[in-house]
Amino acid sequence: MIGPVYAIAASLIWAFSPIYYRGFLAKFDILSFNLLRTSSSSLVLAAPALVFWSGAGLGYAVVSGAVTLACGDSLFLLSIRETGASIATPVVYTYVLMIQVLGFGLGQTIPYSNFGAAVLVVAGVYVLSRGGSGRHRARGITFAVSAAALWTVGQEFIQAATNAGGNTIPVTFTRNLAAAVALGAAFLLTRRYRNWPKGLGPKGYGVILFFILSDLVIGSLLFVYSISVIGVALTVILTSLSPLLTQILAKALGKESPSPMDYLGGVLIVSALVLAVAF
């Protein structure tokens, strides 16, 4: 069955990208890098969006882009810079459970298994918080939890956009464009252009754009297509393996050195996500 391959491919892309983002953040400040991410993705998606253009649901897409990509992703990038991808990624993926908790608050029924998942998430975040010392780790985890909360809100607006009849490609384009406009305004007002890194050259930008477009364009489209083929539940389970893959790959590539406690925290959180979605 080829269906799960799309979700697994998205999971691998989203496992790799945060690892390399930390290196890019040594050159860029958070605002500038996130602006580069969203603006370049908007440019790539512009032509396909025009081909499949539909105005349905785009108002919700604008809100989602501002909340999720502009604000949430900026906090996620802050978390990566502070504590590394192998810690930030497992924590931010708790948004999968937060979405279901929010659904309960909106009157939806949630299964009893989610209470067990919530316990595992709390345990996982606690273990990660104890896996290292210093204010950087504490700040990084705080940023990741905050990003997860914003991703949760943003996902509700994505659902509202699709429920309103929005086409996937125009909605994805509009989300990126809305985030780019918001970040661009902040970029100009704060004069961050004066700190734009120099001397990267075509090769340097090529490497950066490869990971950005893999993340925001290819990964996102694979995720949406996977949902259409194998459904939301199995897609989310497979892509929720991404945090643990990030830890394994970060170690294998020599980019980071997660401790045994960090791996345990990652396993607890991934187990919670699978439990929350599968049952």
pLDDT beyond 70 at 98: yes
Q: Are 233 and 275 in contact (CB under 8 A)?
A: no
pLDDT beyond 80 at 203: yes
Q: Cα dist. 25→65, 84, 252, 267 in Å?
A: 21, 11, 21, 27
pLDDT above 70: percentage of residues in the chain: 92
* Average pLDDT of the chain to the nearest whole number: 87
| Average pLDDT over every residue of 81-91 | 91
Q: Are 269 and 125 in contact (CB under 8 A)?
A: yes
pLDDT beyond 80 at 130: no
Higher pLDDT, 168 or 118: 168
Task: Pick left, alpha or beta for residue 274 (phi over 0 → left; psi -120 to 50 → alpha; otherwise beta).
Answer: alpha
pLDDT bucket at 209, cuts 50 / 70 / 90? very high
pLDDT beyond 90 at 269: no
Instruction: Give the HSE-up count for residue 271: Cα atoms under 13 Å, Cβ half-sphere.
Output: 15
pLDDT of residue 35: 97
Whether this prediction's pTM lies above 0.85 is answered by yes
pLDDT beyond 90 at 124: no
Give residue-wise pLDDT tens across range 210-263. 999 999 899 888 887 787 677 766 777 778 888 888 999 998 989 988 888 888
Other residues' Cβ atoms within 10 Å of the Cβ of residue 8: 18
pLDDT of residue 125: 83
pLDDT bucket at 78, cuts 50 / 70 / 90? very high
pLDDT beyond 80 at 113: no
Higher pLDDT, 250 or 4: 250
Q: What share of the chain is helix, strand, coil (3-state, %, to 5)?
A: 80, 0, 20
pLDDT beyond 70 at 131: no
Q: Are 56 and 165 in contact (CB under 8 A)?
A: yes
Q: Which amino acid is present at 12?
A: L
Cα dihedral sign for 231, 234, 239, 243? positive
Mapped onto helix, strand or coil, the DSSP state of residue 1 is coil
pLDDT bucket at 185, cuts 50 / 70 / 90? very high
Stretch among 12-21, 64-73, 148-157, 180-189 having the lowest mean pLDDT? 148-157
pLDDT of residue 157: 87
Those residues with Cβ within 8 angstroms of residue 139's Cβ, 6 or more apart along the chain or in another chain = 78, 82, 83
Q: Are 139 and 83 in contact (CB under 8 A)?
A: yes
Stretch among 52-66, 115-129, 153-167, 177-191 having the lowest mean pLDDT? 115-129
pLDDT beyond 70 at 37: yes
The DSSP-derived string for 105-136 is HTT----THHHHHHHHHHHHHHHHHHSS-SHH
pLDDT bucket at 135, cuts 50 / 70 / 90? low
**What are the residue ranges spanned by the domains of the chain?**
3-278
Stretch among 2-16, 79-93, 217-231 having the lowest mean pLDDT? 217-231
| Average pLDDT over every residue of 35-60 | 95
